[in-house]
Amino acid sequence: MIPTQTLLAIETSCDETGISVLRQEEQQITVLAQAVASQVDIHKATGGVVPEVAAREHVTVFRPLLEKVMSEAGVKGLDLDAIAVTIGPGLQPALAVGVNAVRTLAYAWQKPLVPVQHLEGHVYSALLAGNHEGIPQTVRIPEKSDIFPALALIVSGGHTLLVKIADHLDYEILGTTQDDAVGEAFDKVARLLGLPYPGGPELSRLAEQGDPGRYTFPRPMLKSGDLQFSFSGLKTAVLYTIRDLEKKDSLALAKERAHLAASFERAAVETLVGKFAAAIKQVRPKVCLLAGGVAANTRLREALQKVTSEQLVPLKIAPLALCGDNAVMIGYAGLFAYAAGRTTTWPAIDALARFDLLPRVES
Ligand code: KG4
Ligand code: ZN
């Protein structure tokens, strides 16, 4: 029997400060308290995230947010078993805030640290909490034989990944983007269409009023025969179309904006879904997972629902509240990492802005 574990988890890889306290009792994980402080309004002014600005904001909100979450959880530092933290990938100055904060906490409370890769957090947000409304207070850990191998599509502002998960913490990246991440493409096209930051959700809203068949944009690498992605060509195709419209007359672009958004969105979604369908045939997963910021996209959710039900594989989509960055997902992954012995100490932990492979723990 697994003893009760109480874990504090911290996420500061980009522009949200996430803090959570989770408790595992046997096969059950409970969120005792959690909070996310978003910096979206601050980054609107610059139309994107300036890493040093993000880092300063993490520093400002960290202590009050930690006090709030710990007090809501009814947990004192000394009650914790371990502290999990996102060590990468992400913006180096932002990651460093979280890592330095947990260094101090681990030293003061004499607790082990659990390094978590941001993307495995996204994987666990769907694996454990998939298809729940909102953040579930309690989740049951599924039987391994019901979920592995799992196939995950992680789509965010920084990443586009197809991942095979053979067992807890055992990941194999099957495909990734050669250039822009899909969320980045949404954000860049949104900016071309004059939409405010963060562009993805704005573009998606505008697309609802447009005809997705009006423009035929490329489905990059859809026929490449592998599971790799590329989105910069699609973004450039939209750019050239916008330039042509601007040359016509000043009103042409205004009239076409919603159609451009809808046509771009369809091309991006069809590319993701085409590769996902090929990956299902290759992996033959017990369950499919969709997570990351772009998993909030309605058209993508619907299209993946369709393709997985055609192939008779269940699909778990991260709840909307856990699609964006948060510390609940870092806590979920952290509990498995802790149980597998992935711990380190305050002098040894380090933030890694880039690393390509998810950590693999031999147990
Ligand atoms: O996971 P996330 O919060 O941060 C990263 O780790 O990158 O993802 C943010 C990304 C942004 O690019 C944002 O525009 C995109 O997710 N996004 C969306 C939607 N909601 C958020 N993209 C398309 N449609 C949406 N509804
Ligand atoms: Zn993320």
Work out the percent of the chain whose per-residue pLDDT is above 70: 96
Which residue spans within 90-221 are E strands per DSSP?
A: 113-117, 138-140, 150-155, 160-167, 170-176
Q: Is 136 in the pocket of ligand 1 (CB under 6 A)?
A: no
Which residue's structure tokens are 């874990």? 7
CA of 124 to the centre of ligand 2 (A): 12
Q: Which pLDDT belongs to residue 113?
A: 97
Band of residue 353 on the pLDDT scale cut at 50, 70, 90: low
Strands 113-117 and 287-291: what pairing? Answer: unpaired
**What phi and psi, each to the nearest 5 degrees, are found at residue 239?**
-60, -45
Q: Are 199 and 191 in contact (CB under 8 A)?
A: yes
Taking the centre of ligand 2 as the mean of its atom positions, its distance from the CA of residue 244, in whole angstroms, is 35
Mean pLDDT computed over 82-100: 95
What is the pLDDT confidence band of residue 132, given thresholds at 50, 70 and 90?
A: very high
What would the pLDDT profile of 254-309 be if each residue is shown by its tens digit?
999 999 999 999 999 999 999 999 999 999 999 999 999 999 999 999 999 999 99
- What mean pLDDT comes out for the span 113-126? 96
pTM (predicted TM-score): 0.94
The 10s digit of each residue's pLDDT in 7-35 is: 999 999 999 999 999 999 999 999 999 99
pLDDT in tens, 306-321: 999 999 999 999 999 9
Is 200 close to ligand 1, i.e. is its CB under 6 Å away?
yes
**Per this entry, what is the length of the chain?**
363
Whether the CB of 198 sits within 6 Å of ligand 1: yes
Cα atoms in the 13 Å half-sphere on the side-chain side of 239: 11
CA of 142 to the centre of ligand 2 (A): 23
In angstroms, what is the span from residue 119 Cα to ligand 2's centroid?
A: 7
Contact 16, 326 (CB under 8 A): yes
Residue 276's CB: how many other CB atoms inside 10 A? Answer: 24
In this structure, the residue with its CA closest to atom 14 of ligand 1 is 200
Average pLDDT over residues 203-222: 95
Q: How far, in whole angstroms, is CA 157 from its chain's centroid?
A: 8
| Closest ligand (CA of 116) | 2
- For ligand 1, is residue 99 a contact (CB within 6 Å)? no
At residue 355, the pLDDT reads 56
For 111-139, give one letter per residue: b (16+ CB within 10 A) or e: bbbbbbbbbbbbbbbbbbbbebeebbeeb
Backbone angles phi, psi at 101, to 5 degrees: -65, -45
